[in-house]
């Protein structure tokens, strides 16, 4: 009886963990400078030129000496530059990245994308040093809508800053530089999706040390 009980308990634990995706991390050190990293794809929301992503050398990178950079300054105001991890699939997720805003006259900075269904449906948490704020958005059928408050942020361009998102069910927490800055509820996108990176318009920005895992209980 004890053996049977132990077996059933182990099976239950396996089943409970079966739906949790494996933790993933990208520091881009194995990728070739001047190219997209393996299993990442560029995409765009909106029409026109832009969304040109390449690996670049950067000795200031938090996790090595290479970074993934959105290099195009051609994007118009309503254009979103996207780069997504092709093999990722998360519903509930604990997601983080280091970002450095480089240039941009229309927009600067960028952030994280998750529950990405396609280039017209996903969530965004982004930092904009030009505006001096941190915001959470959803994109539904190509239309971007803000969720929650606009948070003032004194994180300047040219330096690395950490963004983290924890999304459980409809509850979303967004962290900037290690501090919880936004808490919100939204259930517009319920299905698991890819994770990725985002910038707007002419924002040239570098990203490093992307991590994604199921949130801890």
> What are the tens digits of pLDDT across the range 103-128?
999 999 999 999 999 999 999 999 99
Beta bridge partners of 136: 125, 147
User: Does 14 score more than 50 pLDDT?
Assistant: no
- In angstroms, what CA-CA distances link 54 with 28, 40, 72? 11, 10, 10
Average pLDDT, the chain: 93
pLDDT, tens digit, 9 for 90 and up, residues 147-182: 999 999 999 999 999 999 999 999 999 999 999 999
Query: pLDDT category, 20, cuts 50, 70, 90?
Result: confident
Q: What pLDDT score does 9 carry?
A: 46
- Provide mean pLDDT across the span 35-52: 97
Q: For the chain, which residues make up each domain, given as ranges?
A: 21-213
| Residue 122, H or E segment | strand 121-128
Q: Which two tokens stand for residue 92?
A: 């509930």
Rounded to whole angstroms, the Cα distance separating 99 from 188 reads 26
pTM of the model: 0.90
The values of phi and psi at residue 196, to 5°, are -175, -165
Q: What angle do CA 65, 66, 67 make, to 5 degrees?
A: 130
CATH of domain 21-213: 2.60.120.560
């Amino acid at each position: 009886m004890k053996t049977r009980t132990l077996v059933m308990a182990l099976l239950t634990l396996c089943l409970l963990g079966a739906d949790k995706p494996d933790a993933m991390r990208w520091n881009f050190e194995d990728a070739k400078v001047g190219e997209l990293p393996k299993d990442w794809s560029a995409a765009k929301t909106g029409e026109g030129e832009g969304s040109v992503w390449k690996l670049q050398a950067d000795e200031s990178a938090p996790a090595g000496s290479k970074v993934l950079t959105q290099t195009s300054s051609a994007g118009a105001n309503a254009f979103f530059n996207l780069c997504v991890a092709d093999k990722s699939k998360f519903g509930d997720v604990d997601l983080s990245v280091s970002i450095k805003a480089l240039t941009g006259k229309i927009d600067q900075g960028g952030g994280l994308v998750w529950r990405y269904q396609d280039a017209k449906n996903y969530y965004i948490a982004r930092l904009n040093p030009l505006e001096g704020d941190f915001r959470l958005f959803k994109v539904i059928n190509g239309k971007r809508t803000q969720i929650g408050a606009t948070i003032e942020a004194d994180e300047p361009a040219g330096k690395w800053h950490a963004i983290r998102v924890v999304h459980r069910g409809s509850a979303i927490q967004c962290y900037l530089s290690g501090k919880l800055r936004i808490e919100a509820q939204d259930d517009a996108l319920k299905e698991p999706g890819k994770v990725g990176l985002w910038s707007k318009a002419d924002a040239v920005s570098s990203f490093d040390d992307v991590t994604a895992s199921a949130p801890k209980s």
